[in-house]
Amino acid sequence: MRLDGRRALVTGAGRGLGVACASALAQAGAAVTLVARTSIEIDDVAASIRRDGGLAEALVLDVLDAAAVTAALTARDPFDVLVNNAGTNRPAPFLDVRMEDYDAVMALNVRATFVVAQAVARGLSNAKRAGSIINVSSQMGHVGGANRSVYCASKHALEGLTKAMAIELGPLGIRVNTICPTFIETPLTRPFFENAAFADDVLRRIKLGRLGQVEDIMGAIVLLASDASALMTGSALMLDGGWTAE
């Protein structure tokens, strides 16, 4: 499960799951490039990784800008590992969903993921190198959820995209999988759990009886990035505490 000598790209790397993904890959020996729209957070994360003895650089890039993504990644050496982590959610009852929110969620969760993965896969294909693409999905890519119609639609789309990519890229030695976390406690999600009814419902559905922590995804990321999962592609790795088992 070592990644020494490999180059990894992590989108949405400035906070929460992205920081955990980047840290895990660096601890396993990868040279990590952290991507976000602004430099402040990823500069700090990259510096922290370097202080701990890892290899990391920050790349300011808006993954919603397809032309900028293509130009930036084409200009760099191929990445052996991609963690497509950038994503968003705008919860609302189905009858109240605004089209601008629908477009924003689908643009980042699906279109941007597609664009970044395509650029990384092209780089690997042109260099005739194998690689691993990890799309950060969700348990909501396998079930439905109240007030999450658009988010569920985007993550179900991501699961289908991952399987199709795995079929096409497998002959090139490029593996494509998803990780599917349950609710992970981060500064962005913590306010949701101030609603006692919501918190009780979530914990009832998570059979292990606790929210996920960012550390819970780190081992899974290294597993899918490394040769330890050499025969895994087109798969969804559930990190949902048993939510979807019911």
- How far apart, in whole angstroms, are the C-alpha atoms of residue 239 and residue 92? 24
Phi and psi, residue 114, nearest 5°: -60, -50
CA dihedral 40, 42, 46, 49 (to 10 degrees): 110
pLDDT at 188: 77
Residues 6+ apart with CB under 8 A from 246: 205, 207
- How far apart, in whole angstroms, are the C-alpha atoms of residue 48 and residue 223? 23
Reference 3, options 36, 39, 27, 38; nearest CA is 27
pLDDT at 138: 98
14-38: pLDDT as tens digits: 999 999 999 999 999 999 999 999 9
- How far apart, in whole angstroms, are the C-alpha atoms of residue 10 and residue 56? 11
Q: Which residue in the list 102, 128, 155, 207 is annotated as catalytic?
A: 155
pLDDT at 93: 97
- Whether the per-residue pLDDT at 119 is higher than 80: the answer is yes
Sorted by where each starts, the structural domains of the chain and their CATH numbers stand as: 7-237 (3.40.50.720)
- pTM across the whole model: 0.96
Phi-psi region at 16: left, alpha or beta (left = phi > 0; alpha = psi -120 to 50): left
34-89: pLDDT as tens digits: 999 999 999 999 999 999 999 999 999 999 999 999 999 999 999 999 999 999 99
Q: Which residue in the list 102, 128, 151, 207 is annotated as catalytic?
A: 151
**H helix runs in the chain, sequence order:** 16-27, 39-51, 66-74, 99-106, 113-127, 149-169, 196-205, 218-225
- How far apart, in whole angstroms, are the C-alpha atoms of residue 226 and residue 210? 28
Residues 6+ apart with CB under 8 A from 165: 117, 121, 133, 176
168-207: pLDDT as tens digits: 999 999 999 999 999 999 877 888 899 999 999 999 999 9
- Cross-strand bridge partners of residue 55: 31
- Whether the per-residue pLDDT at 94 is higher than 80: the answer is yes
For every residue of 156-205, DSSP letters joined together read HHHHHHHHHHHHHHGGGTEEEEEEEE--B--TTTGGGGGSHHHHHHHHHH
Active-site residue flag, 102: no
- How far apart, in whole angstroms, are the C-alpha atoms of residue 171 and residue 115? 20
pLDDT at 192: 85
Active-site residue flag, 128: no
**Mean pLDDT score of the chain, rounded to an integer?**
97
- How far apart, in whole angstroms, are the C-alpha atoms of residue 3 and residue 224? 11
Taking residues 209-227, report their average pLDDT.
97
143-163: pLDDT as tens digits: 999 999 999 999 999 999 999
